[in-house]
Every structure is written in structure tokens, then in C-alpha cells.
């Protein structure tokens, strides 16, 4: 069988339950470059720290849980230190690795040694160097095509302004196009422009082009258009059509057309649908300011909001409360039940915190199992203490994950502007210290024999 595997045009490594290599075909051996005999040694011992840690993690998942995985060359280009045969350079060959869970054949030495049902891990390795080279070539060609397309577009726009063929080009354009005289009277509007603005193009000819827009936009854009046309500079703005939830955003740009004497002969404009672009920008902004797991704002956005809240409190003579919350024994949850359960616990804690606070309050995930809350225009101390108790009770409610019932405790610290500090960093530091003080008090009470108020995990096992 091994002789047959030596003839195939890709690499095979077979690992036993202990991650020891039990088979490496000739394809792998030819690309190992001065590595001692691998069979019988652990994968990590053969190459040491040269292996991508993500591959070792995938192998562990495969052997322990039977999970198969592909390490694509696009994201993990060189998981193993392999080199192309005959290449004396130091650059590793690009390759993709398929991590496949399998069972040893019945009756084989490996199967007898490991016992029935013990998993093996097969690493299937493919040389992706040529594919990567072609991808780079295609990207270079695409980049050159984009440059050439941009140049061609500029040439078309210039020719369209100076020739009679503009009408046909404009009629077939995918963006809205319109043309006006020096006074802004509409002389041309292509079909796409009429469709986007929901007007009859023929009925608008001879009228000022602003009449194609809704009344509110005319009042807003009119002065800006007059200023741009008087100065003979480019005009650009965006407007929204349609009701909330079904709106369409359009970008209107217009530039002057100059005659042979460099005098304005009119304007030519474009109307572009930028709805998708704006939505994409909104999503990017959301991702930049929010935690991907819980949906809460992240540390940077929280710090900005704290600065603003303090500035407003200074102006209005109000108080601002900062809460710092840390989940108890969260690492134990991750260690005993896995990160998926830990993520569920974090999301549940985030939802419970939001439900306990006002709509004007802000909850943030600072990282790990640490959360913070901002309470602008904070109430009196007694009300804040009730809020702390409400948060602790809400987070301590049972959380069912599969057949496992968790009770997650928390420690909460609080700092108040201007009572404890006057800047965001000092407020957070004070709240952090208060939180750790309460945590130490809880540990001291537990050590003295007091019954713990919160229990981490019920006896029901996680399945």
C-alpha cells in the first residue's frame, strides 16, 4: 500500500491517536529538506516551531473530536516547512492542507495498537505554488485592466462633451446623465437618469434641472448649485428618495463645460445610485465600533462616549456613573465546557445587562469577560446601588446551554463623576479597583466558610 501511495502527486501524512506519524509518502519526504526520519515521531517534534500553530490546533481537533478541516493556501499559505524539490532557496512552497479524521483499517497494526474506534488524522497536502502564481498574475492583469478602464472612461467622457456621439453613449450609460445650458436649463436627460429620479425626461426639457428633484431637496441644494455655477466649479451632493427602510441614495455630480474661449457653455452631470456603497460603509463603521460576538460597543467607542458624557455633565452640572463588571470563574467555563459555551455565556450576560439599564445608557465589552456600562445623568447613590444589585441578580439567573445549566456570577465596581475622578481613564481605573475589591471580599467570605451566593455550574453535564 505504501508503494502505491508513493506514486501519487500529493503529500500524505498519517498520524495516530498520539499525533505520531505512522506514514509519510515520498511526496512529503522529497520536500522536507534535511529533516530526520519522521515516522514514529510526533508532528510537532519533527518540525518544531516551524509549523503553523493553526495546523497543530486543527490536528488536535481532528484527533479529539473527529473534526475535519481545510487550511486554504489563500489564508494559510505555508502551514508546514516544505520546499520544492531542487529549489535551494529559503522560500517555502505554497500548499494547502486537508485535515481528515479517519479510522485505521481493521486488522492493521495501527488499528490493533490504537483499538477499535480510535481516530487517526490524515494530512493531505497539495502544492499550490503554480495556482498562487496564476492568482498573482490574474490580479496584476485585473489591476492593469482597471487602470486601462479608468483611462478609457476619462477619454469617453471627454469625447462625449465634444462630439455628437455623446447622445448615444449617454443613452446606453448605466448611470444617470443630464446636460444643462449655462443658466442650468435642462437640455438632455438620459433614460437612466429619468428612471432614478422618477420623472418624465421630455417634460423636464427646457426647465431648470433642479425641478427634477423633490421640493425639500430643491430648497437645500438650490443655494449650493447657484454658488457652484457662479464660481464655475464642480457641484456634488447626495439626496435620499423613498421612505425609511426602502430609501434610495443618489449622488449627483455636475461640472462646467467650457467653450473655446474658456467660458461656461453649460454643465454636464451624473446621477449614481450609492445606496449599496453607503450601506457597506455603515456596516464597516458598525464593525469598527462594536464587538462582533455580543453586539455591544467596543472599548474605543465606549471611551469616546464617556468623553462626550463627561463634557455634557460638566456643562449641565450632572453626574456620570461608570460600571465595571467582570464575570466570575469564566475561565473555568471555557476550560470545562469549551469556548462555544463561553461565547453563549458572554452573549447572555450582554443581553441581561442591556435589559437592566435605560435606553440612554451604554453597555460595552472591553475584552474577554470584562464589561462596562455608562450611565449619563446618573441618579442618586441609592438608585445606583439598586442598579448594581439588579445587574448581579440578572446575570446570576440560570443559563441553559444544551443539557447544562450554568449560574454565572459577577463582580461589579462603580465610579462616579465628579465624586471619584474627572477623566475617563481615572474613572475606569476607580471602577476597576472597586470591582476587584468586591471580588476579594467575596473570596474572603467564601474562605471563611460563608455560603457562596452564586454557583458556577449545576451538576447536569454538558452534552
Dump the DSSP string for 219-236. Answer: HHHHHHHHHHHHHT--EE
Q: What is the pTM for the complete model shown?
A: 0.47
Domain-terminating residue out of 278, 310, 344: 278
- 284/282 Cα distance (integer angstroms): 5
Between 31-35, 267-271, 348-352, the lowest mean confidence (pLDDT) is in: 31-35
Residues 273 and 303 occupy one common structural domain: no
- What residues form DSSP beta bridges with 267? 180, 256
Residues 194 and 99 occupy one common structural domain: no
Residues 336 and 258 occupy one common structural domain: no
Residues 86 and 191 occupy one common structural domain: no
Whether the predicted pLDDT of 214 surpasses 70: yes
Residues 36 and 120 occupy one common structural domain: yes
CA 53 to chain centre: 22
Higher pLDDT, 35 or 62: 62
Whether the predicted pLDDT of 116 surpasses 70: no
Residues 175 and 247 occupy one common structural domain: yes
Query: 83 φ, ψ to 5°?
Result: -130, 145
In the chain, the number of structural domains is 3
Q: What is the share, in percent, of the chain residues with pLDDT greater than 90?
A: 25
Whether the predicted pLDDT of 390 surpasses 60: yes
- At 296-333, the pLDDT tens digits run 999 999 999 999 999 999 999 899 999 999 888 888 88
Are the CB atoms for 190 and 173 separated by under 8 Å? yes
Structure confidence at residue 113 as a pLDDT band (50, 70, 90): low
The pLDDT of residue 460 is: 35
Structure confidence at residue 245 as a pLDDT band (50, 70, 90): low
Whether the predicted pLDDT of 346 surpasses 70: yes
In a domain, 136, yes or no: no
In a domain, 108, yes or no: yes
The pLDDT of residue 174 is: 80
What's the whole-number mean pLDDT along residues 68-72? 90
Residues 333 and 273 occupy one common structural domain: no
In a domain, 462, yes or no: no
The pLDDT of residue 110 is: 55
In a domain, 412, yes or no: yes
Query: 111 φ, ψ to 5°?
Result: -65, -40
Domain with 320 in it: 297-447
The pLDDT of residue 339 is: 85
Are the CB atoms for 267 and 184 separated by under 8 Å? yes
In a domain, 175, yes or no: yes
Between 15-29, 39-53, 278-292, 443-457, the lowest mean confidence (pLDDT) is in: 443-457
Residues 326 and 433 occupy one common structural domain: yes
Instruction: Please provide the distance, in angstroms rounded to a whole number, between the alpha carbons at the two ends of the chain.
Output: 39
The pLDDT of residue 106 is: 58
Most confident range (mean pLDDT) of 189-203, 236-250, 371-385 is 371-385
Residues 345 and 208 occupy one common structural domain: no
Structure confidence at residue 105 as a pLDDT band (50, 70, 90): low
CA 413 to chain centre: 30
The pLDDT of residue 461 is: 34
The pLDDT of residue 87 is: 82
Whether the predicted pLDDT of 374 surpasses 90: yes
CATH number for the domain including 176? Answer: 3.30.450.20
CATH number for the domain including 385? Answer: 3.30.70.270
The pLDDT of residue 231 is: 85
In a domain, 41, yes or no: yes
Residues 117 and 171 occupy one common structural domain: no
In a domain, 147, yes or no: no
The pLDDT of residue 108 is: 56
Whether the predicted pLDDT of 458 surpasses 50: no
Give the chain's mean pLDDT.
Answer: 84
Whether the predicted pLDDT of 226 surpasses 80: yes
Domain-terminating residue out of 227, 243, 278: 278
In a domain, 453, yes or no: no
The pLDDT of residue 162 is: 67
Neighbours of 26 (CB within 10 A): 15
Amino acid at each position: 500500500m505504501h508503494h502505491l501511495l508513493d506514486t501519487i502527486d500529493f503529500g500524505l501524512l498519517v498520524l495516530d491517536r498520539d499525533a505520531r506519524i505512522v506514514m509519510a509518502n515520498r511526496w512529503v519526504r522529497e520536500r522536507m529538506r534535511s529533516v530526520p526520519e519522521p515516522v514514529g515521531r510526533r508532528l510537532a517534534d519533527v518540525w518544531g516551531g516551524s509549523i503553523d500553530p493553526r495546523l497543530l490546533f486543527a490536528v488536535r481537533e481532528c484527533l479529539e473530536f473527529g473534526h475535519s478541516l481545510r487550511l486554504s493556501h489563500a489564508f494559510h499559505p505555508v502551514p508546514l516547512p516544505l520546499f520544492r524539490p531542487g529549489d535551494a532557496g529559503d522560500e517555502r512552497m505554497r500548499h494547502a492542507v486537508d485535515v481528515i479524521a479517519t479510522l485505521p483499517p481493521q486488522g492493521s497494526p495501527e488499528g490493533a495498537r490504537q483499538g477499535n474506534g480510535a481516530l487517526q488524522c490524515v494530512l493531505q497536502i497539495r502544492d499550490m505554488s503554480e495556482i498562487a502564481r496564476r492568482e498573482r498574475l490574474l490580479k496584476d492583469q485585473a489591476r492593469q485592466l482597471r487602470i486601462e478602464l479608468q483611462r478609457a472612461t476619462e477619454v469617453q467622457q471627454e469625447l462625449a462633451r465634444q462630439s455628437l456621439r455623446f447622445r448615444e453613449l449617454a443613452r446606453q450609460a448605466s448611470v444617470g446623465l443630464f446636460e444643462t445650458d449655462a443658466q442650468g436649463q435642462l437640455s438632455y436627460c438620459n433614460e437612466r437618469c429619468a428612471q432614478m429620479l422618477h420623472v418624465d425626461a421630455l417634460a423636464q426639457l427646457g426647465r431648470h434641472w433642479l425641478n427634477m428633484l423633490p421640493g425639500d431637496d430643491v430648497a437645500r441644494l438650490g443655494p449650493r448649485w447657484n454658488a457652484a455655477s457662479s464660481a464655475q466649479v464642480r457641484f456634488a451632493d447626495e439626496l435620499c428618495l423613498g421612505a425609511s427602510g426602502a430609501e434610495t441614495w443618489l449622488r449627483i455630480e455636475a461640472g462646467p463645460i467650457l467653450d473655446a474661449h474658456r467660458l461656461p457653455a453649460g454643465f454636464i452631470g451624473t446621477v449614481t445610485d450609492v445606496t449599496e456603497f453607503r450601506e457597506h460603509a455603515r456596516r464597516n463603521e458598525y464593525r469598527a465600533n462594536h464587538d462582533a460576538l455580543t453586539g455591544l460597543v467596543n472599548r474605543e467607542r465606549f471611551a469616546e462616549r464617556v468623553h462626550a458624557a463627561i463634557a455634557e455633565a460638566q456643562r449641565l452640572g450632572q453626574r456620570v456613573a461608570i460600571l465595571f463588571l467582570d464575570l466570575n470563574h469564566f475561565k473555568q467555563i471555557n476550560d470545562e465546557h469549551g469556548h462555544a459555551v463561553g461565547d453563549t455565556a458572554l452573549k447572555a450576560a450582554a443581553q441581561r445587562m442591556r435589559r437592566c439599564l435605560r435606553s440612554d445608557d451604554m453597555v460595552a465589552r472591553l475584552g474577554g469577560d470584562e464589561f462596562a456600562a455608562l450611565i449619563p445623568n446618573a441618579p442618586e447613590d441609592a438608585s445606583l446601588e439598586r442598579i448594581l444589585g439588579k445587574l448581579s441578580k440578572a446575570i446570576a439567573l440560570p443559563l441553559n446551554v444544551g443539557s447544562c445549566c450554568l449560574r454565572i456570577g459577577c463582580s461589579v465596581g462603580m465610579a462616579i463623576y465628579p465624586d471619584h475622578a474627572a477623566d475617563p481613564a481615572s474613572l475606569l481605573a476607580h471602577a476597576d479597583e472597586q470591582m476587584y475589591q468586591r471580588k476579594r471580599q467575596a473570596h474572603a467570605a467564601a474562605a471563611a466558610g460563608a455560603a457562596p451566593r452564586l454557583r458556577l455550574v449545576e451538576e447536569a453535564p454538558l452534552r
